[in-house]
Amino acid sequence: MAFQTITTFVRPNLGVPFFSNPQNKTITESYTTSGKISANDTVTSQDGLTKTITRTFATHADQLAFKNDPARAAIVEARRAYNLANNIHVTVEYISV
């Protein structure tokens, strides 16, 4: 059964950039190439304050592997600290599809 994560970032104003890390994109692409991620979509709201990333994984095990990938650990921590320091609110939903 496929598994989906929906991560939403809400920034306080347009002067605060969303966190970005090119290495995370490379890691995500490797999961997509291997078939573990079948969809990876990013949508920014019309007002530019909300960014939503929806990833569909082939299985829940693939999602857990991505979430716990050691190559992502430092990136995830840096994003958490950046979002906290810049008042960017994050929500994550996990859905079986």
The CATH number covering residue 51 comes to 3.30.70.100
Q: Cα(61)–Cα(68) distance, rounded to whole angstroms?
A: 10
- Shortest CA distance to 10 belongs to which of 52, 49, 54, 53? 49
Total domains in the chain come to 1
- Shortest CA distance to 20 belongs to which of 53, 57, 55? 53
Question: Do the Cβ atoms of 6 and 83 come closer than 8 Å?
Answer: no
* H or E segment and range at residue 74: helix 70-85
Q: What is the pLDDT along the chain (97 residues), one digit of tens a residue?
A: 899 999 999 999 999 999 999 998 999 999 999 999 999 999 999 999 999 999 999 999 999 999 999 999 999 999 999 999 999 999 999 999 8
- Domain residues for 82? 3-96
| pTM across the whole model | 0.92
